[in-house]
Structure 1
Amino acid sequence: MFFERVVREDASLAGAMTRIAVIGAGPSGLSTVIALMRRFHRPFEVWMVDAEDAPGAFGDGPAGTALTAEPARDLSVLPDRPDDFACWLKTNFLSDGTVAALRGPQDLHVPRAVFRDYVMARFGEALSLRRDVRIRTIRGAVRHIGAESPGVRIGFLDGESAVFDHAFIATGFGIAQREATSWRGAVAAAERLSQQEDPPPLTLVGNGPRLAAILLHLRARGFEGAIQVAAAAGRLPQPHGRGYDGAAFGDPPASRSLRDAFRYIRQECSTAEARGGSQWQAVVDAASARLSVVWRNLPQAERNHYRRHLLRLHRHFSVRIASDVHRRLAAEFQTGRTRFVPSCDPKSADENTIDCREVPSARALAGLLGYHVATLSVDDCGHLLSHGAPLSGLSVVGAIASSLRPGPFTFAETVRQAYRSVLAAPLSDPARMSRG
């Protein structure tokens, strides 16, 4: 899928265009480009760079039949219209009231292909209003990201490079483990094992929505062999509960201690739970919302402690799957054909071990930049920081941002990050404009 809109033949306009890179062509990258078209009111050219996929490809193939990890109420690409996706669903699929009468569209988990169609529809609408925008899609793996005065230079594995006024890193969960690779590997391994007389187990590494979708897809295709799930947590992905009720919280502590921050969060969430009878999911969501508030008071050493010891646990309880998918997954484990085994490193495993992890790799991002991961962080506006100082020309959006700075692990938060990053990026300074 390739998109390109050519700017009007106007030499002065072409010379003044801002050149922007968006690394990642999934939902995070598309949300960032939509935010640019809606909030950045100068002519610009965007390169959407992805190592494997074109924009919208996250809804292709078997991955497109999997249900969205979040309900419709949390999947709007327009932060000023949080019910936009639910309304789009109602208009395009539920207009006769058959489903809406039984269950509100805001609570539905839909196939990812449907969500892709919605995102691309909003993408096309935003582009139709911007005749001064050019969008290119580039398939290429990024090898290096470095400062260039002014702007940033992105180098690719094939040896080519390009300079941009600004780059938004919006790789989702794909910077280290490619989703399309996981699906292809799992299907190919299942077909290969099905042809063997006494096959070994198929091992899937992971414990999130991708693992759940791939496992259930293999069973739906008729794979009857043994499946091992290698997960450090050793438990099923968590189901959704009722939505967060927005309980009020007291002022966060001025302490610069992670221990004090979590003591405050635990106390405030316990109070909210006792007051409103909230489900544990709402309590975790409340804690996630408060983490981003207390984060700004913590020194880098405490932030690194969170990333090393608490991030994985926090994400496990924050990123969830549809309740129906959770029930199907639990029933699958009860059959005995599928069981948990100790975690393993897929890089050193055999061809029957498939990496289904979704962990955003801050370490991989640090490698692209040539920095040590312990020095990196992200501020409220999405600026990428090293030792607390902004790195020129770089913003971070989505799962990678949430791996560097705690907060809600939701698509709605990704969209908010995209708009904050676009509004805060120094793109309107004439001194930073590309000169052709």
Structure 2
Amino acid sequence: MTVHGLFATKPPAAASLSSKPEFAIVGRGFSGIMMAIALMKSVRVSFQLTMYDPHPSINGGQALSSAQSLEILNSRVRDLSVAAGQPDDFNDWLCANDEFRAAVPAAIPGFRQIFVPKGIFSDYVHQRFSEALARRSDITVKFSHEPVLALRKLSTGRFTLVREGGNDECDVVVLATGFGVQPRNIEISGDETPVVRARRLVDPRHAVLLGSGIRVVDRLFQLRDNGYAGRITLLSRHGFLPQTHTRLAAAPSFPVDPMPVGLRQIVRFVRQACADAEASGQGWQSAMNGLRRRARSLWQSLSPQEKRQFNRHLRAIYDSHRNRLPAAVHARLQQELADGRTVLCRGWAGRRLPEGLMVRWAGQSSEELLRADQVIDCRCSAPDLAAPLFRSLFAGGLAMTDELELGLAVSPTGEVLAEGGRTPNLFAIGPLGLGSLPDIDLVPEIVTQTYAAARLIATGKRPALKAG
């Protein structure tokens, strides 16, 4: 059965159970939940949906993995709506929450500018998922806890999803595995944070956190809030910690002049734009917010060699300026570093040993032992392109990697690209396409992409490309 174009002409009443289109979403993190919401809102005919994930419950993936904690999200309420065309949906949900209004009265009547804990955002996402499902009594949603090991395309155009317990067939497959499936050969603690604990406590008051992004800051403050008073070392290759948000949202501002050609010239142009924004009192954050609106066209204008140069030398700097911390959290981080209890070091993590971690420090050619009783990996997992699921896609000619081999090559709507062009009815949503689409790991971009993919599935019509 060909899915594209079917929904535009076939009314819901005409679809029997046996003829219902069958969709599969692989992954139940934020990308998977968001894709399910978009399908339920966009596809008007009856359908069957199966969501696959080895986790027994919807856990939010890496983005919301600690949703029960008080970790603060690094995006404002105004940027976190999951409703297409309704940017104030999350704000309205908070305003309708009496308990939240009582706890944060100063922001009434609106909460658009504030930052909220992950747990609150997780509750909002799950409630919107439940509401979307409740409004669609004509559809069937099932959950499978078996991992999908392979994906094959049949001569009929349908797909076979291979599991240990048997095979399933469906019409449309959406890969929403976040940063991919990559098993880690380290112990997992009770809160699912990857942890290596020394079997012999040589230095029982020293913890090493790997990474320098938002997750490492979250874990640092978790340790402190739980009473950990020992030394903490933040270890990363580049050593760029997240920068700070402005007190109020910085309106996007960027020069309207044509962008130069070439990576070096573009970097100079962006630096000058940030300097000009600072000089005018707007702050460099407004220039970075404006740059994000042009990031996709800029990325596509770079040659493969320039993309590799950016990823190798500039990605960490860019990420530290786009993934920013609320001002209060940033101030606490700076105080932590100033007090000397936490230090930031540049280096490469090597083998884990009972006594700690082997490290090659920046500027050195040999490794040395960094003694610690805990080594906690706070880095985001990169997609493991050698995993059986992805290997099956490549072997079957259904997918190819992006130019940098960071993930799958995808179109803006998430369609998976292969050597022969788009693979019909196969999508990869969110961070799996980060090598093709900059910033596709952020909530607003994921929301936009899921609705675009859902509309394409429903109508077969691709959105018109927008200039620059």
TM-score, normalised on structure 2? 0.75
Q: Is the 8 A contact 1:395 1:425 kept in 2?
A: no
Q: 1:199 is matched with which residue: 183, 187, 204?
A: 204
Superposed CA RMSD in Å reads 3.7
Paired residue for 2:297? 293
SS of residue in 2 equivalent to 1:399: helix
Distance in 1 separating the partners of 2:419 and 2:307: 11
> Is contact 1:187–1:218 with CA below 8 Å preserved after alignment?
no
In the other structure, the counterpart of 1:361 is: 383
Q: Give 3-state SS (helix, strand or coil) of 1:425's partner.
A: helix
* Residue matched to 1:81: 86
Residue 426 of structure 2 aligns with an amino acid whose one-letter code is L
Match for 2:26 among 23, 26, 39? 23
Task: Work out the CA distance in 1 between the residues paired with 2:336 and 2:68.
Answer: 19
Deviation of residue 227 (structure 1)? Answer: 1.7
Matches within 5 A, 1:171-250: 171-173=177-179, 175-176=181-182, 181=188, 184=191, 196=201, 198-199=203-204, 201-241=206-246, 242-247=248-253, 250=256
**Which range moves more in the overlay, 238-247 or 113-122?**
238-247
The answer for the alignment partner of 1:413 in structure 2 is 445
Distance 2:443 2:206 in 1: 34
Q: Which moved more, 1:417-426 or 1:263-272?
A: 263-272
Q: Counterparts of 2:205 and 2:284 in 1: how far apart (Å)?
A: 38
Which amino acid in the other structure matches residue 217 of structure 1?
Answer: Q
Matched ranges for 1:271-310 at <5 A:
277-297=281-301, 303=307, 306-310=310-314
Q: 309, 324, 327: which is aligned to 1:323?
A: 327
Indicate how the Cα distance of structure 1 residues 301 and 283 shifts in structure 2: closer, same or farther if over 3 A, else same: same
Would you say the 8 A contact 2:43–2:457 is kept in 1?
no
**2:336 is equivalent to residue 332 of structure 1:** yes
Alignment partner of 1:143 is 2:165? no
Superposition deviation, residue 318 in structure 1: 1.3
For residues 16 and 141 of structure 2, the distance between their equivalents in structure 1, rounded to whole angstroms, comes to: 15
Q: Aligned to 2:45, what secondary structure does the other structure show?
A: coil
Q: Does 1:380 align with 2:412?
A: yes
Closer/same/farther in 2, CA of residues 102 and 250 from structure 1, 3 Å limit? closer
1:362–1:404: 8 Å Cα contact kept in structure 2?
A: no
Q: Are residue 115 (structure 1) and residue 147 (structure 2) matched?
A: no
List aligned pairs for 1:333-348, cutoff 5 A: 333-345=337-349, 348=351
Is the aligned partner of 1:152 residue 2:159? yes
Q: Confirm whether residue 422 of structure 1 aligns to residue 454 of structure 2.
A: yes
For 1:215 and 1:269, the matched residues in 2 are separated by 30
Change (3 A) 1:185 1:426: closer
- The 8 Å contact of residues 206 and 356 in structure 1, kept in 2 or not, is answered as yes
Letter paired with 2:378: C
Structure 1 pair 79/139, CA: closer, same or farther in 2 (3 Å)?
Answer: same
Distance change (3 Å), C-alpha of 1:87 and 1:147 = same
Deviation at 1:277, TM superposition (A): 3.8
Distance 2:233 2:59 in 1: 31
State how many pairs are aligned: 414
* Partner amino acid, structure 2, of 1:106: R
> Is the partner of 1:391 in helix, strand or coil?
strand
Supply the AA of the counterpart residue of 1:317. Answer: H
> Residue 120 of structure 1: CA displacement?
1.3
**1:101 counterpart letter in structure 2:** A
Pick aligned residue for 1:169 from 169, 175, 184: 175
Structure 1 residues not aligned, in runs of 5+: 1-9, 430-436
Contact 1:40–1:422 (CA under 8 A) maintained in structure 2:
yes
> Which has the bigger relative contact order, CA under 8 A and spacing at least 6?
1
- How far is the alpha carbon of 1:416 from its aligned partner? 0.3
Alignment deviations for residues 193-238 of structure 1 (CA, whole Å, 9 cap, x no partner): 9x95742632111122221111111111112222221112313222
**CA–CA distance in structure 2, aligned partners of residues 164 and 251 of structure 1:** 48
Q: Residue 396 of structure 1: CA displacement? A: 2.1
- SS of structure 2 residue aligned to 1:30: helix
Change in CA separation of 1:307 and 1:14 when aligned onto 2, cut-off 3 Å: farther
Gaps of 5+ in 2: 1-12, 355-373, 395-399, 462-468
Distance 1:372 1:424 in 2: 22
Task: Please state how far the C-alpha of 1:145 moved relative to its aligned partner.
Answer: 3.6
Distance 1:265 1:116, change over 3 A: same
Matched residues in 2 for 1:333 and 1:261: separation?
A: 33
Partner of 2:369: none
Q: 1:243, CA displacement in angstroms? A: 3.0
> Following the alignment from structure 1 to structure 2, what is the Cα–Cα distance between the partners of residues 345 and 117?
36
Structure that is richer in helix per residue: 1
Distance 2:192 2:121 in 1: 24
AA partner of residue 225 (structure 2) = A
> What is aligned with 1:432?
none
Deviations 1:94-131 (A, max 9, x none): 78677343574112222212111111111111111111
- Give the 3 Å change call, closer, same or farther, for CA 353–388 of structure 1 in structure 2: farther
User: Please, which moves more after superposition, 141-150 or 301-310?
Assistant: 301-310
Residue in 1 that maps onto 2:465: none
Q: Structure 1: how far apart are the matches of 2:28 and 2:226?
A: 28
AA paired with 1:125? E
| Number of the residue aligned with 1:397 | 429
**Structure-2 change in CA distance of 1:268 and 1:300 (3 Å):** same
- Give the partner amino acid of 2:444: A
TM-score when normalising by structure 1: 0.80
Residue 4 of structure 1 corresponds to: none
Relative to structure 1, is the Cα distance of residues 74 and 13 closer, same or farther in structure 2, using a 3 angstrom cutoff?
A: same
1:91 and 1:286 map into 2 onto residues whose CA distance is 32
Contact 2:263 2:302 in 1 (8 A): yes
Gap change, CA 1:97 and 1:78, over 3 Å in 2: same
